[in-house]
Structure 1
Amino acid sequence: MKAILLDIEGTTTPVSFVFEVLFPFAREAVAGFLAAQGQEPEVQADLALLRQEYDGDGPSGPVSDHRTFAPASLPGWEGDAPTAAVPYIHYLIKCDRKSTGLKSLQGKLWDQGYGEGRLQSQVFPDVKPAFQRWTAAGKRLYIFSSGSIQAQKLLFAHTPEGDLTVYLSGYFDTTSGPKREAASYRTITRAIAQPPSEILFISDVVAELEAAQAAGLQTAFSYRPGNASADSQGFRLIHSFDDLP
């Protein structure tokens, strides 16, 4: 094993931090952020992606695998002002939609929150010692999360244990593909120039492990306090990174 690819939510970081801290922060901050910075080119690019997604979400449009609401509950998007997107953004946050435009915009919101000292990320106690142990042994560490690369870097840069980005060699998000498709892991394998059999992927989602396994990666199922299920469905189960040799 030469490289370790890590999920975030439920693997390095409590699920509660994402759903009880990050998502509510984004929901509360987005209207003011768009009013102040909605005309900036990078924000406009996020809004364009969101508008494209919205246009495909109508009653005759495709139903996303991540949607929890029927199309009839889709909120309106009236006008061209950046803040007109707020109801749809709230909708996507509530659905926990794995939307590239949403994740990119959330990264910008959280960047502001961390910079103002209103946010501090959380990682499990074994994370930093494991990062130190693995990198000392010559392993390269990577992150693969549905959150944007910017959001990933912010999370690991602002932990109570200090800046953990110094241990990480790279980051991957949904621009590499969905986490439940084997092709995404093949893309990551090529990017880090490592044979798949020498990469260990750790996640708390069986469907992600199945996709990684189909791409030839080694796998481990993470069961942490607060995770939804301890059913590893045959995958190797770990309760902390200390369980790995």
Structure 2
Amino acid sequence: MTEWVVLDIEGTLSSTDQVLVVLYDYARPRLGPWIDEHGDDPAVARAVAQIRELSGATGGTDDLVRVLHGWMDADQKVTPLKTLQGLIWQRGYETGDLVAELFPDVVPALRKWHGDGLRLAVFSSGSAPGQVAFFGHTSEGDLRPLFEHHFDTVNAGPKREAASYLAIASALGAGDPAGITFYSDVPAELHAAAEAGWRTVGVARPGEPNADADFSPHPVVGEL
């Protein structure tokens, strides 16, 4: 029996364009100023060090921004990029510049699961603080009380590795991994979750990039 429902965001709860167009376009021009203005923030300093380590960049802020923009253009899920984006998006939601848009079926499904006693968590490549800000400022209001945990590639690990799902199961205190059901639009993520013993459901939404992907052997839904 399912005790936990763990959800991906991009392509599952919210459109890919919401992330790759709206959020990316918001963060892109703000990365350099954020690095310059928040150099004393340990999270920013750590991200800058990681960018240099991963890319070999030795120049100033402009050099770092070129690396970050390249990762964004390739939609690479690189931890320091996600950290900086998350901080920028968090500020954007707090100031009202950004409002999270969800698919129409999402909030009714979340409220039903929650009302039925299921426990909800998120596993997304976006940073955990960014996730919290996202759900705190949606067009449907503040949804943060519905979720008990937020996992990202920093506190859990890569989304396409079974070890990440084992780590999440441990953090959730799930004695039986089969008591966790994971919803995602990415087959490789579902494969990794299934390898860790989770139940899995593919989400193939019309118009999204993975709508026609091969989700076998996972069951597939068109909406939650």
Question: Given that residues 190 and 200 in structure 2 are in contact (C-alpha distance below 8 angstroms), is that contact kept between their aligned partners in structure 1?
Answer: yes
Match of 1:169 among 136, 143, 148: 148
Q: Give the equivalent residue in structure 2 for 1:210.
A: 191
3-state SS in 2 of match to 1:174: coil
Question: Does residue 223 of structure 2 align to residue 237 of structure 1?
Answer: no
Taking structure 2 as the reference length, the TM-score comes to 0.93
2:209 equivalent in structure 1: 228
Q: Which residue matches 1:126?
A: 105
Task: Check the 8 A contact 1:5/1:141 in 2, yes or no.
Answer: yes
Name stretches of at least 5 consecutive residues in structure 2 with no aligned partner: none
Q: CA deviation at 1:83?
A: 4.5
TM-score by length of 1: 0.85
Number of residue pairs aligned between Structure 1 and Structure 2: 219
Residue 197 (structure 1) shift: 0.6
Contact 1:186/1:215 (CA < 8 Å) preserved in 2? Answer: yes
Output the amino acid matched with 1:208.
Answer: E
Instruction: Identify the residue that residue 178 of structure 1 maps to in structure 2.
Output: 158
SS state at 2:68 partner: helix
**Which one has a bigger Cα radius of gyration?**
1
Aligned mates of 1:37, 1:234 — CA distance in 2 = 46
Q: How does 1:138-149 map to 2 (within 5 A)?
A: 138-149=117-128
How large is the Cα RMSD of the aligned pairs? 1.4
Contact 2:94 2:133 in 1 (8 A): no
Structure 2 distance, partners of 1:39, 1:151, is 20
Shift of 1:116: 2.2
Cα distance in 2 for residues equivalent to 1:54 and 1:11:
31
- Secondary structure of the structure 1 residue equivalent to 2:18: helix
Matched, 1:92 2:75: no
**What runs of 5+ residues in structure 1 fail to find an aligned partner?**
56-76
1:41 maps to 2:38: no
SS at match of 2:36: helix
Deviation at 1:41, TM superposition (A): 2.8
Shift of 1:141: 0.3
| C-alpha contact 1:12 1:123 (8 A) present in aligned 2 | yes
Structure 1 residue matching 2:73: 3-state secondary structure: helix
Q: Secondary structure at the match of 1:202?
A: strand
Question: Aligned partners of 2:25, 2:78: CA distance in 1, in Å?
Answer: 17
The amino acid that maps onto 2:183 is: I
Letter in 1 for 2:47: D
- Offset of residue 78 of structure 1: 4.7
Choose the corresponding residue for 2:170, options 175, 181, 190. 190
What is the alpha-carbon distance in structure 2 between the residues aligned to residue 149 and residue 17 of structure 1?
A: 17
Instruction: Choose the corresponding residue for 1:114, options 86, 93, 97.
Output: 93
